[in-house]
Amino acid sequence: MTTSGVSLGRLLLALDATMVTLVQAPRGLDLSVSSAALIDPDDVRLGLAAASVSADVFLLLGVGDREAHQLDVLSWLLRQTAPRTPAAILVKDPSDAVVARAVACGTAVVAVEPRARWERLYRLVDHVFDHHRAAPVHDSGTDLFGLAQSIADRTHGMVSIEDAQSHVLAYSASADEADELRRSSILGRAGPPEHLAWIAQWGIFDAVRAGDVVRVDARPELGLRPRRAVGIHQAPVAARRPPTFAGTIWVQQGKQPLADDTDEILRGAAVLAARILTRLAAAPSAHAVLVGELLGLRDGDREVTELARDLGITADGRPTVIGFDGGGTTPARLSDVLALSASAFRPDAQVAARGDRVYVLLPDTGRASVPSWIRGTIGALHAELGVALHAVVAAPPDGLSGAATARAEVDRVLDSAARHPGSLGPVTSLAEARTTVLLDEIVALIAADDRLTDPRIRTLRDHEPVLADTLRAYLDAFGDVGDAADRLHVHPNTVRYRIRRIEDRLGTSLADPDARLVLALTLRATG
């Protein structure tokens, strides 16, 4: 699959004037762009952003409105990309000096609405690129943006499609008369409290969930224009169950009255939106399919070189596979958050999720400090989201062709950590965890088959648990009586006395290495 890119103009049109505003485009809007990267000043300072310079469009995070700060990051970017010229930079409150410097180099400057969330903007940019490069075989009619624009064209209003939690999934182009509630929703911010309170007070949310089209009158004192809404209800999976509420389609009226048949259009749109959301849940994007095949999360018969070409990544680099797990407390949007961080670290990073786990594939790490990035990401997510993640890192020795095997090995480590919380640190390499994981899996196999455990240990545990604990401590101490006594907080003579009793109860000598091995494994399997 060849990625020819989209025009810069088409990208900006898809993002909408609510989100971005073109400041200047010295080379016009017909430039082809196909990739975006996030540039964070801290990553620049720490030397972690060098890999991001191969992108076409750059989102400058965290530079604020300080001219010197913006110029420092822009100057670094222009040096790193030379002799190639970035197609565009997206920045909040760009200073005149930054605009002049970028334009002089032929780079377009796009001002981002200060209240916009970077993660929302990055997802939208990625959506535009992903939808453009999706092959027909993978395009399952999941373009909610296209549906939103079609509804807007037919109703003469401004459309937004939200999920069941009122998060905007897609929207049509905005006109100047878009009200504050619409703008806030698109920017990824909660609507003004007084607006939301009024909507809830009048039971509009309840009416939308209940069924038919709801008409919402204008509230000039709140700055709210008239709008209509219809609930999106998906057919139940099981028979005799009511449809599931999946979201809402909103149409805000502008200066032009809504079409006479707006209600009928919305009813039909709700059916189409439900189908699209069902397809989205059942069929991942073309990009997700490719990454899943590369990591062995999905069946496929394509060669690694073909997958790499379609993803636009190198097949002969030094890859790294990282698995993240939150121990059952993983937030629903962890995949998006990690994708944002990983793409800022390496623009060629690929992210996939299965269950509570998120996998990051770095096709070519080069000299990048992967452990440093992982520790920083885990620390940031703990501080911001309150989730305690741990990660396992694997570097397949046979390159990208070993990515699926490496991911499976990462899962083995994460599975072991899940069975024994606290057994591994927050960041663990596959090599570091090898012994722990192998022993855990051996013990798990033994524990699953009573024939593989010594019945004498079960008897000892049932009738004399103190002796069983002493035997475990003695074996773990490699027969060192003093060490075992310290572990048990007793006198060494007490340990010696108990060991004699244990040998008498078991009818075996603990000097026999084979006996020690069987007893140690049984103690772990039955403990």
Higher pLDDT, 53 or 2: 53
CB 475 within 8 A of CB 521: no
Does 429 share its domain with 324?
A: yes
In this structure, what token pair is assigned to residue 400?
A: 């990208």
Cα–Cα distances in angstroms (integers) from residue 434 to residues 184, 417, 420, 428, in the given order: 49, 12, 15, 10
Is there a domain that residue 266 lies in? Answer: yes
Mean pLDDT of 68-78: 86
Residue that terminates a domain, selected from 114, 133, 152 = 133
CATH for 40: 3.40.1390
pLDDT for 335: 78
Determine which of 52-56, 378-382, 475-479 has the lowest per-residue pLDDT on average.
52-56
Does 297 share its domain with 433?
A: yes
Mean pLDDT of 140-167: 82
Q: What is the pLDDT of residues 422-471, one digit of tens each?
A: 667 788 887 787 777 788 778 888 888 888 888 888 889 888 889 999 99
Does 427 share its domain with 309?
A: yes
CATH for 474: 1.10.10.2840
Q: What is the pLDDT of residues 4-25, one digit of tens each?
A: 578 898 888 888 888 889 999 9
pLDDT for 138: 40
Mean pLDDT of 503-511: 89
Does residue 496 register a pLDDT over 50?
A: yes
Q: What is the pLDDT of residues 226-278, one digit of tens each?
A: 999 999 998 765 555 677 888 999 999 998 999 998 999 999 889 888 888 88
Does 11 share its domain with 28?
A: yes
pLDDT for 135: 43
Does 295 share its domain with 363?
A: yes
Does residue 159 register a pLDDT over 60?
A: yes
pLDDT for 140: 39
Determine which of 151-160, 259-268, 383-392 has the lowest per-residue pLDDT on average.
383-392
Does 93 share its domain with 38?
A: yes
Does 268 share its domain with 292?
A: no
CB 419 within 8 A of CB 444: yes
Q: Quick one: pLDDT band at residue 330, thresholds 50, 70, 90?
A: low
Does residue 136 register a pLDDT over 50?
A: no
Mean pLDDT of 341-350: 82
Does 39 share its domain with 117?
A: yes
Mean pLDDT of 349-358: 87
pLDDT for 119: 78
Does 270 share its domain with 151?
A: yes
pLDDT for 167: 78
Q: Quick one: pLDDT band at residue 137, thresholds 50, 70, 90?
A: very low
CB 324 within 8 A of CB 342: no
Q: Residues 6 or more apart from 390 whose CB is under 8 A from it?
A: 324, 325, 327, 378, 414, 417, 424, 425, 426, 427, 428
E runs forming strands in 294-439: 320-325, 350-354, 357-362, 390-394, 427-429
pLDDT for 489: 92
pLDDT for 192: 65
Does residue 61 register a pLDDT over 60?
A: yes
Residue that terminates a domain, selected from 235, 257, 282 = 282
Tokens 């101490």: give the residue. Answer: 477
Q: Quick one: pLDDT band at residue 139, thresholds 50, 70, 90?
A: very low
Q: Which residue range forms the structural domain that includes residue 200? A: 144-282
pLDDT for 443: 82
Q: Indicate the residue type of 258.
A: L
Q: Residues 6 or more apart from 189 whose CB is under 8 A from it?
A: 115, 117
pLDDT for 284: 64
Mean pLDDT of 398-417: 88
Does 276 share its domain with 295?
A: no
pLDDT for 329: 55
Best mean pLDDT range from 126-135, 200-209, 477-486: 477-486
Does 113 share its domain with 217?
A: no
Higher pLDDT, 320 or 430: 320
Does 325 share its domain with 354?
A: yes
Is there a domain that residue 389 lies in? Answer: yes
pLDDT for 134: 46
Number of domains in the chain: 4
Chain-wide mean pLDDT for the chain? Answer: 83
Cα–Cα distances in angstroms (integers) from residue 73 to residues 55, 68, 78, in the given order: 15, 9, 9
Is there a domain that residue 442 lies in? Answer: no
E runs forming strands in 281-319: none
Percentage with pLDDT > 90 across the chain: 23
pLDDT for 122: 84
pLDDT for 2: 34
Does residue 39 register a pLDDT over 50?
A: yes
